[in-house]
Amino acid sequence: MSGTQERPLRADAARNRARLLDVATEVFTTRGVGVPTEEIARAAGVGVGTLFRHFPTKEALLEAVMVRRLEAIAARTADLAAASEPAEAFFGCFRLVIEQSAGKNEFTQALAAAGVDAHAALQESSQAIRAQLADLLARAQQVGAVRAELGLPELVALLVGTGAMMELLGADPAARERIFEVVFDGLRPH
């Protein structure tokens, strides 16, 4: 309903594209990336042909899904970072990223893949997050809220790893909180 910057598509084409992304996100997140493309198309109410017109490859679809998630995170992170003082911003964003990575470990894998793989599109949008994370980290370190010796790679690893922990624990909120305590206390200078 707002102005995400896709190149101008016909109204219905844009709607199809959006629906496909929504459905794919849902499906990939809940059932993994092994789900047949045809099933995604059907769930989105379009034919396979349409899916492949919008995303020339299954991998391209996966990438688009990840990009969207990364961008969503980047946007929220930016808001949070702007509105809080460094320590609060850092730990708040850490939580945010973890919370958003719910469902399979698609997202965390995306982050991971982005740091390793050469997928152009992912590279681009993950760079945005990485820059933000680097900034948040630096500022939190300046105010002494986070160990000074940590770099961006370690932060990314900690995010991905903590996401994995949460997946294992499932919905138990108390256990999740205990994990946050361990990780956050560990992040602070000793």
Partner DNA sequence: CATGAATGAGTATTCATTCAT
Partner DNA sequence: GATGAATGAATACTCATTCAT
Q: Which residues bind a copy of itself (CB under 8 A)?
A: 108, 112, 115, 147, 149-151, 153-154, 156-158, 160-166, 168-169, 172, 175, 178-179, 181-187, 190
Q: What would the 3-class secondary structure string for the chain be?
A: CCCCCCCCCCHHHHHHHHHHHHHHHHHHHHHCCCCCHHHHHHHCCCCHHHHHHHCCCHHHHHHHHHHHHHHHHHHHHHHHHHHCCHHHHHHHHHHHHHHHCCCCCHHHHHHHHHHHCCCHHHHHHHHHHHHHHHHHHHHHHHCCCCCCCCCHHHHHHHHHHHHHHHHHHCCCHHHHHHHHHHHHHHHCCC
Judged by CB under 7 A, which stretch of 38-46, 107-115, 141-149, 152-160 contacts DNA? 38-46
Closer of 5 and 190 to DNA (Cβ): 5
CB of 41 to DNA, least distance (A): 7
The binder of 8, among a copy of itself, DNA, none, by C-beta within 5 to 8 A per type, is none
Nearer to a copy of itself, 139 or 147 (CB): 147
From the list DNA, a copy of itself, none, pick the one residue 75 interacts with, judged by a Cβ distance below 5 to 8 Å according to partner type: none
172 binds, among DNA, a copy of itself, none (CB under 5 to 8 A by kind): a copy of itself
- Nearer to a copy of itself by Cβ, of 138 and 168: the residue is 168
**20: Cβ–Cβ under 8 A, 6 or more apart, which residues?**
40, 41, 44, 46, 50, 51, 54, 55, 61
190 binds DNA per the rule CB under 7 A: no
Ranges within 87-106 binding DNA (CB under 7 A): none
List residues binding DNA (CB under 7 A): 9-13, 16, 34, 36-38, 45-50, 52-54, 56-59
